Chain A
Amino acid sequence: AQSVAQPEDQVNVAEGNPLTVKCTYSVSGNPYLFWYVQYPNRGLQFLLKYITGDNLVKGSYGFEAEFNKSQTSFHLKKPSALVSDSALYFCAVRPDSGGYNKLIFGAGTRLAVHP
């Protein structure tokens, strides 16, 4: 079965420290990978995506993500966290077979950045 796992329900980090939000996936073929962020009472906002090419993808608000095919991971990173980064983060994958226009989401990771 195709799935996305975000192993941490919550990540706590101090402002100014680097942050990592983990994501692993289980799909066949060469999937496309996405990160979205959700603020309270708002929809999902697109951060970045990996399609092909360089394994390090840069996105909005200083976020980046590293694709690792051998470990089937796509971890989200930021060198220096801000309190305003506190939100719910979702990793998603679009399989390249069987329903290739839908996104499969992980359960989300709540990021809390403390002053």
Chain B
Amino acid sequence: DTGVSQNPRHKITKRGQNVTFRCDPISEHNRLYWYRQTLGQGPEFLTYFQNEAQLEKSRLLSDRFSAERPKGSFSTLEIQRTEQGDSAMYLCASSKGTSGRYSTDTQYFGPGTRLTVL
């Protein structure tokens, strides 16, 4: 059973540059999530996809952030015009969810992409 994979594992960029991260979920998982984790804090929710539809976005997801899941499989998270405050670990998770409000699915996390903005 292949877990959630994320690439790259580390990214160092200069302020103002654009970066893109990729997440490959567990096969057949229809739900995909992005979280951000800063040092000493727990992960904070950014956005959620069910298949290819982006159904929820956090207020943390500013206009410089965009996420896609074009075919309902892998997802990309792009940050434009990076700022030093964007430095964090970006975590992707996936789950196999049923329809309806009270889905009890478990989210499985990838190893994360550590972004450093100089």
Interface positions of A (Cβ within 8 A of B): 4, 32, 34, 36, 41-46, 49, 51, 90, 92, 96, 99-108
Contacts and interface: CB of A to CB of B under 8 A. Distances in A.
B41 A108 contact: yes
Query: Which of A34, A36, A49, A92 has the most C-beta atoms of chain B within 10 angstroms of its own C-beta?
Result: A36
Give chain B's interface secondary structure class.
loop
A102 B56 contact: yes
Contacts of B45: 99, 102-104
Given A45-B109, A105-B43, A107-B42, 16 more contacts: A43-B110, A44-B109, A46-B107, A46-B108, A51-B104, A90-B42, A99-B56, A100-B101, A100-B102, A101-B48, A101-B55, A101-B56, A103-B107, A104-B45, A107-B40, A108-B41
A53 to B, nearest CB: 11
Most buried by B among A42, A90, A103, A107: A103
A96 B56 CA distance: 15
8 contacts: A34-B106, A36-B109, A41-B111, A43-B112, A102-B33, A103-B35, A105-B43, A108-B42
Interface string B35-74: 1000011111100101000011010000000000000000
A70 B73 CA distance: 41
Contacts of A41: 111
B42 A32 contact: no
Interface in B1-59: 4, 31, 33, 35, 40-45, 48, 50, 55-56, 58
Nearest to B101: A100
B31 to A, nearest CB: 7
A3 B21 CA distance: 28
Contact of A106 (B31, B42, B110): B42
Contacts of A105: 42-44
A51 B102 CA distance: 10
